[in-house]
Amino acid sequence: MGADPFLVVVDYDAGNLRSVERALAHVGVDASISADWADLARADGVILPGVGAASDTMAKLGERELTEPLREYVASGRPFLGICMGLQALLDHSDEGGGQECLGVLPGTVRHFGFDHLKVPHMGWNQVEWVREHRITEDIPSGTYFYFVHSFYPAPDDSGLALGETTYGLTFPSVLARDNVVATQFHPEKSGDAGLAIYANFAKWVREA
């Protein structure tokens, strides 16, 4: 084995940053928390965490001059994992807060759960059905429960981007994947053993990439 891979968790003050770091530590990965574009440029793997509002997320990524480095990183083909708001930020546009342009890495929109009698946020444990195979979900059965907290859901233009699906009022893609990019709407760092397995699979992917 060569040197340990350089895994960066993007630091833009996201609320779940430390939880992601702790989950990685629990599966034996020493991640670097960084807001430095130079770290992104040389990273072997990048995780974009996130909770909260789309406008706030995009503003903070902008302030730290991370939007372009993130796009460049994704284009480089190296493994990328987005979590919750870190998924939503990848799409073109979010309807949150009157509308917000996002990174545009994946074509599509982020929409509100605007249905009668549906409690929002979608909060708690819900099932994810895998719609295809991927190394990030290796050894995790389809239909496993993960922890969700969100009021908006991803609606990619290409339904083929869905890797996993969840039903809450409607069936939406709760995991997106294309090439080197994977993103989960749920919080693996709060989903017990199943969530830790996602981080372990990501770490393995980064090591082998």
Partner 1 sequence: MLTKRIIPCFDVDRGRVVKGVSFIELRDAGDPVELAKLYDAEGADELVFLDITASSDNRATVYDMVSATADQVFIPFTVGGGIRTTSDMKTMLELGADKVSINTAAVNDPDLVNEGAYRFGSQCIVVAIDAKGTGEGWEVYTHGGRTPTGIDAIAWAREVVERGAGELLVTSMDTDGHQRGYDIPMLAAMSEAVNVPVIASGGAGGPDHMAEALTAGKADAVLAASIFHFGTYSIREVKAALSEQGIAMRPVGDR
Catalytic residues: 84, 187, 189
Binding mask 91-130 for partner 1 (x = CB under 8 A): ----------------------------xxxxxxxxx---
- The residue (of 146 and 205) whose beta carbon lies closer to partner 1 is 146
**CB-based contacts of 62-70 (< 8 A; 24+ apart in sequence):** 64/11, 64/12, 64/35, 65/37, 66/10, 66/12, 66/35, 66/37, 66/40, 67/103, 68/37, 69/37, 69/40, 69/41, 70/10, 70/40, 70/46, 70/103, 70/105
Binding mask 143-182 for partner 1 (x = CB under 8 A): --x-xxxx----------------xx--------------
33 binds partner 1 (CB under 8 A): no
Residue 92 gets the label, from left (phi > 0), alpha (psi -120 to 50) or beta, of alpha
Distance in Å, CB of 154 to partner 1, minimum: 17
Interface contacts to partner 1, rule CB under 8 A: 15, 18-19, 22-23, 25-26, 51-53, 119-127, 145, 147-150, 167-168, 189-193, 195-196
